[in-house]
Amino acid sequence: MIEARGLHKQFKTPVVKEGSFAGIRTLFTREYRVKEAVKDISFTINQGDFIGYIGPNGAGKSTTIKMLTGILHPSSGEVRIAGVDPHRHRRRVVSRLGVVFGQRSQLWWDLPVKDSYEILAHMYKVGDKERDLRLGQLSELLGLGEFWTTPVRKLSLGQRMRADIAASMLHDPDVLFMDEPTIGLDVTAKRSIRDFLKTLNTEFGKTILLTTHDMDDIEQLCERVMVINHGQLSYDGTIDELREKIGLPTTIRVTFAGAWSIPLPPGEGLQLPLEVRLPTGEAFRVVETGPDYVRVEANRQQIRAVDILREMSAWGEAADIHTEEPAFEDVIHKVY
């Protein structure tokens, strides 16, 4: 559905001169600074995929999306959307694409929401009957009715985002590029956008590439994630594989009903962190202790929780067990 092969994008910006007449001297300068925003990126996205495209600020996400949607021409490499070059054949491709840039609205600021939809439907050559049918469905899913006649500038951020997402769907595209569609939204508004995107993917089979800094969005919606860093893809795979690859420890905290003690070699006191090795060779670490609890860390790829608990049950009578997987935010922080 979407193919990117060896994508590069360089931006040339004039070096800004300092001192008197700096503006004019910059205008006539022959010195340029070259910024390689995207360096040799390749990937394939299949129909019906829901993919997270993440990376730190300035990593090259928006530049990639602009190349995929035909807004920017790659310096080298190629993009194909359903076999078509989006830059050369913009008109043919645009009818298949829906794009939302969360930081910018594509709606007309001073017009009522419904008027923007009429203009967009006209631009995309969507007939009146089809437009009304689609707006009816979108209104039901996104609750557009509550601000139908309100000028866009008077909408709350959550309403504006819902209105923008509906606008991107008016021509019923099969591929959606969502660049930060939940930015700045409260928990409830985020949830309604997430639910809608999920419905689009699972019930309507839309292919979605989602860019966001919100790791909950990614964890809840995407099976596959692509990580871009300094213009290069540093990871492309499932979230679970990424967790495994990064190998942050799982934490297990056991609260004991009464006294507890960790068997130590004679004459040795308890020093943290303490490595505990099982007779089978696998190990875990005791990292914290309290009057009635012991907290340990372990790599789940190397040792089973059940084996840790069996060992710990010999230290005292367990009253409660709490297990915590590494937060996805921490996994991503490590990748960045």
Ligand X SMILES: Nc1ncnc2c1ncn2[C@@H]1O[C@H](COP(=O)(O)OP(=O)(O)OP(=O)(O)O)[C@@H](O)[C@H]1O
Asked if 61 touches ligand X (CB under 6 A), the answer is yes
- Looking at 55, 70, 102, 173, which residue binds ligand X (CB under 6 A)? 55
Please count the other Cβ atoms lying within 10 Å of the Cβ belonging to residue 91. 7
Least distance in Å: CB of 6 to ligand X? 17
Round to whole Å and give the CA distance between 22 and 28.
10
Burial 19-40 (b: 16+ CB within 10 A, else e): eeeeeeeeeeeeeeeeeebbbe
- Looking at 13, 149, 271, 280, which residue binds ligand X (CB under 6 A)? 13
Asked if 280 touches ligand X (CB under 6 A), the answer is no
Here the tokens at position 14 are: 């004039």
Span near ligand X by CB under 6 A; candidates 53-61, 90-98, 123-131, 298-306? 53-61
Least distance in Å: CB of 211 to ligand X? 7
Least distance in Å: CB of 115 to ligand X? 30
Lay out the site mask for ligand X across 62-101 (x = CB under 6 A, - = otherwise).
xx--------------------------------------
Asked if 31 touches ligand X (CB under 6 A), the answer is no
For ligand X, the closer of residues 192 and 229 by Cβ is 229
Please count the other Cβ atoms lying within 10 Å of the Cβ belonging to residue 299. 15
Backbone φ and ψ for 221, nearest 5 degrees, come out as -110, -35
Least distance in Å: CB of 48 to ligand X? 25
Round to whole Å and give the CA distance between 52 and 331.
15
Structure-token match 């509906």, residue found = 166
Q: Name every residue whose Cβ is closer than 8 Å to that of residue 161 and which is 6 or more positions away in sequence.
A: 100, 102, 181, 182, 185, 189, 193
Please count the other Cβ atoms lying within 10 Å of the Cβ belonging to residue 156. 13
Least distance in Å: CB of 55 to ligand X? 5
Asked if 39 touches ligand X (CB under 6 A), the answer is no
Span near ligand X by CB under 6 A; candidates 43-51, 52-60, 244-252, 265-273? 52-60
Torsion of CA 293, 244, 194, 209, to 10 degrees: 160
| Binding residues for ligand X, total number by CB under 6 A | 12
Contact set with ligand X (CB under 6 A):
11, 13, 35, 37, 55, 57-63
